[in-house]
Amino acid sequence: MKPTSITANREKKEMSVVWDDGHTSLYPFSLLRAGCPCADCRGGHDRMGKLPAPAVFVTLLPDSPATRLKTVVPVGAYAISPVWEDGHDSGIYRWDYLRALCPCAQCRQIFYGEPGKDRN
């Protein structure tokens, strides 16, 4: 599964991803930052897994340079790397990881076996 469109809306503080299966994911910037897959944010290499930690869906990060998206950089044909206003830029969000980070009820059920807050 791959995105067909990625759009960041700085006013709404969310990123929209349209996937090749027709699904649209809406990611609040705070969720993207809370779910950063880099070793520093995950707490070391031993905590890096294929799925985001379930706690990221309930982690509330305040509006700050850490949650303000500066730009998004493509990483090959398999991922993106957000650059945040605080300078953090080491998170590589592979397509499978990014899709698992989708907060909608459908994706939460598929990836975690639990209902999520339906944002679509």
Q: Is the pLDDT of residue 95 over 80?
A: yes
Going by C-alpha positions, the residue among 45, 33, 25 that lies closest to residue 93 is: 33
CATH number of 3-112: 3.30.2020.30
2-53 pLDDT tens trace? 999 999 999 999 999 999 999 999 999 999 999 999 988 887 766 667 889 8
User: Where residue 99 falls among pLDDT bands split at 50, 70, 90?
Assistant: very high
What residue segments make up the domains of the chain, in order of their start?
3-112
Q: Is the pLDDT of residue 119 over 60?
A: no
Chain mean pLDDT for the chain: 91
Fill in the DSSP letter of residue 12.
T
Q: pTM here?
A: 0.89
Enter the tokens of residue 42: 């995950």
DSSP string, 38-101: SHHHHTSGGG--SS--GGGGT----SSGGGSEEEEEEETTTEEEEEETTS-----EEHHHHHHT
